[in-house]
Every structure is written in structure tokens, then in C-alpha cells.
Structure 1
Amino acid sequence: MTRSTSSESGQAAPIYITMVAGLLFLALAFFAVGQAGATRNEAQGAADAAALAAAQESRDLFRDGLLDGLLDPGFLDDVFNGDPIGTADGCEAASRFADQNGANVLPGECRQLTDGRWGFTVAVRTQEPMGPNILSETEDQHAEATATAVVVPRCSFEPAEDEEPSEDGEESEDPDNAEPVSPGTLDCGGGPGWDIDPDHLDLLPDMADLFSVRLAQD
């Protein structure tokens, strides 16, 4: 009886070792897949941050251009009711934010959109490879990802009503000496509108109050 038990134990040992080795291999494989997935997630996070930074930088740099056209109703109608026209380059900010998130912007892969939207598409590659693991083909690979961010107006422009002519049908003032008049009002989110005062253009709301920045589809 003892010999039989010993024989069965001897036969079971190799099977047990094989099963344990198989389970360890599967565990390592799942770990490797998870590690690769985490690296890809890091790449996507860096791409998202870079694209948002580029769009935000472009939005903030547009302030001077907006101030220059703030008394032009046609300009304001294009910006807030039509297609935003900000063209400032935000790719320097994209590179900074990608680096802060462990990635680099691929050469030539921070691009302004050309489909009528105001925004940027950015492609990045992680600075560190996926690292050594049992999946040798991924050991030296770097994860890449792409993201697009756009700038969208928060406000709409309501032009001022045309002034009524004087009772005698003539202009009340010499156009050459006329004081600048308000082109209209910016209505942002249903709250109190901002009446554009030619004498206080410096009171323009923050660009973040006028335009939002968000991720979008490529």
C-alpha cells in the first residue's frame, strides 16, 4: 500500500509542476498585456493633454485679435455665430504638456485643423518603451496615440439695433466726428449679457468665459 501511494505521488508531481508553471506563465502573460495597456493609456493621456494645451494656447493668444475687431459687428458675427477664426499656433504648449506626461510630440504631428473647426490634432509617442516582459516583441516598442481638441464659443453675438434717423430725416451728427457706438451684446449661457462698451473694451471677459476647449473626434 505504501509503495502504491508513493508511486502515485511520484506520478502526480510532474503534473503538479506543469500546472503551476502554466499558471505562472498565464499570470506573467496577463501582467505583460496589462503593462502594455497601461503604457498605451499613458500615451493617450499625454496626447489628450497636448491637444487641449494647444487649443487653449491658441484661444488665449486670440485675445488681442478679438480686441482689435471688437467694434466690428461682421467680425463678431463670424467669431461667435459662425466659424471661429482664431489662428494662433499652440504647438509649443502641446510639446510642453506632452513632455510633462512622459511623451514627445511626433515630428510634424501637431497640426491645426483644416476642416472649418478651430483646433489642433496632436500625435505623441511615449518616452519610455513598454519594458522587458515575456512578450519580447513589445519590449522595445513605444506606445503612440493621437488626440484632437477644438475651441468652441460659449457666447452668441446680438448686434445692436440701427439708430433711428432724426425727425428731419437728416443725420444728427457729423459721421467724421461721431463717437464710437456699441456694436451689440455678447450673450453667454443665458446669463446677463455683456454690452460691448467702446469706452471700456478692457473689460472684455476672460477668454475662458467666451470660449470653451474640449476634446473632439479626429
Structure 2
Amino acid sequence: MNPGRRGDRGQAFPIYIVMVAGLLFLAFALFAVGQASAARNGAQGAADAAALAAAQEAREDMRLPFLQALREPDGLNEFLSDSQNPVLGREEAIRLASSNRSDVTRFYWRQGFWQDRVTVRVKTRYTVGTSVIPSTKDRHATASATAVVEFRCSLKPEQTDPPQGDDDAKENGDSKDTPGPFEFSCDGRPVIIDLSSSDPLADLSKLIFAVHLIDD
């Protein structure tokens, strides 16, 4: 037996141990990164759902004020320039966040040009989990998302001022109480709104207001 070779093996063994330990630590570290990424994705999904839910609820609540605005001179411009109620859609955002095991930590609206933006920030109820990285056991993931409610129509130029009644009606002492009908072009699609109808376009909100997520 060659004592030199036996000595080389003995010296190499600690190196193998260190290499294996290093590889194991790297594997656990990568697993921890995966855990953090999964938690982050879960938080982002909850934020996206909450922001969209708030914007969609706000869109539905805009229907009646929009119809009322058409009845008043310059009412449409005033309607489009007004900002949203600061708590509109909040309860729906909380509900959607909760269904994704998260809580809403911030909720606010911002007014834009013919659009309103709602931003929702959430925090997961679950943590990243135990890992080789310190403090992940108690760390929650957070994320935010912004959705817009955007007016996507234009009123035909010749209808920018609500009709005030025809000449025959005026001569007879009558006036036209209900202006319109109004014809809009919404993303190239004609949309006619007749205010004299008992239910002018049940899907009106979806036709004239677009809802989508945007980058913060």
C-alpha cells in the first residue's frame, strides 16, 4: 500500500464535505427564492383582482350619473371632469383581496384625462415560509396594482349641445323635456342612447367605459 495516496484521500475528504454542504445551501437558497417568488406572485394576483374589481364596480355606478349628465347643458363635460368618490369600489376590492388570502392596505383614486385610476395595495395573510434565509418565516408579500375606468367614446360633433325642442313644439307652447337621442362613436362602434327609453341600453356602462390594468 502507498501511504502517500491514503494521505491524499484523507485530505480530499473534508473538501468533499465542504462542497456538498455548499451545494445543499445553494439548493435551499434557491428554494427560498422560489418561495418568495411564489408569495410575490400571489400578492400581485390579489392586487390585480382587487383593482379590477373596484374599477368594474365604479364603472357600473357611473351609469346613472352619465345618463343624468346628458340631460343637462354641458353636463357631459362636467361629468368627465369630475373625480370619483374616494371610496367607490373599496368594499369590492377588499372582498376580492380576501378571496386571495390578502388584505387591502391602501386604496385611492386619482383623476386623469377622461379617466380615473384606482390603485390598490395588498399584503398577504400568509408568509414566505421557513427557509435558510433569516426572517422569511414572518415576512409577508406585498404588491400593488392600478386599474383605470376610461371613457372611450366621442359624441358626434353636431350633437355636442342637447336639443332644446323642435320649432313646431315651441310654437305650440310645448318644449321637449328629454334631449336626444345621442349618437356616440365608441372605439369605432356607433352607440345610440335614447333617454326617453325606460331602460336605455342595459349594458351601457360596458359599452362606453373601458376597464383595464396599467403599469404603476
Q: Distance in 1 between matches of 2:111 and 2:207?
A: 25
Q: Using the alignment, how far apart are the partners of 1:195 and 1:73 within structure 2?
A: 19
Judge conservation of contact 2:104–2:123 (CA < 8 Å) in 1.
Answer: yes
Counterpart of 1:38?
Answer: 38
Give the whole-Å Cα distance in 2 for the aligned partners of 1:164 and 1:127.
59
Structure 2 contact 83–111 (Cα < 8 Å) conserved = no
The residue that corresponds to 1:93 in the other structure is: 92
Q: What is the 5 A alignment of 1:106-185?
A: 106=105, 109-114=106-111, 117-158=115-156, 159-160=158-159, 171-175=170-174, 177-178=175-176, 180-182=178-180, 184-185=182-183
- 1:7 is displaced (CA, Å) by 2.5
Normalized against structure 1, the TM-score is what? 0.82
> What's the CA shift string for 1:162-190, capped at 9, x where partnerless?
689869xx944424x43534153121111
Question: Residue 93 and residue 123 in structure 1: after superposition, are their counterparts in 2 closer, same or farther (change >3 A)?
Answer: same
CA distance in 1, matches of 2:58, 2:166: 42
Q: CA deviation at 1:33?
A: 1.8
Is the CA contact (8 Å cut-off) linking 1:52 and 1:213 kept in structure 2?
yes
For 1:26, what is the secondary structure of its paired residue? Answer: helix
Q: Distance in 2 between matches of 1:48 and 1:166?
A: 53
The aligned length equals 210
CA distance in 2, matches of 1:205, 1:86: 22
Runs of 5+ in structure 1 lacking a partner?
Answer: none
**Distance in 2 (alpha carbons) for counterparts of 1:124 and 1:98:** 7
The percentage of counterpart residues that share the same residue type is 40
Question: CA-to-partner distance for each residue in 1:21-50, whole Å, 9 max, x for gaps?
Answer: 111111111211221122122212211211
Q: Deviations over 1:104-155 (max 9, x none)?
A: 011xx11222566423111111101111111112221111122221100122
| CA distance in structure 2 between the aligned counterparts of 1:63 and 1:22, rounded to whole angstroms | 62
One-letter code aligned to 1:7? G
Matched-pair contact (CA < 8 Å) for 2:153–2:187: yes
In 2, are the aligned partners of 1:91 and 1:110 still within 8 Å (CA)?
Answer: yes
What is the TM-score normalised by the length of structure 2?
Answer: 0.83
What RMSD in Å do the two structures reach over aligned CA positions? 2.8
What SS class does the counterpart of residue 111 from structure 1 fall into?
strand
Equivalent pair of 2:164/2:179 in contact (CA under 8 Å): no
Change over 3 Å in CA distance of 1:86–1:204 after alignment to 2: farther
Q: Could you tell me whether the CA contact under 8 Å between 1:126 and 1:143 is conserved in 2?
A: yes
Q: Does 1:60 align with 2:57?
A: no
Q: State the Cα distance separating 1:20 from its structure 2 match.
A: 0.8
The 3 A distance-change label for structure 1 pair 165 and 188 is: closer
**Deviates most, 156-165 or 39-48:** 156-165
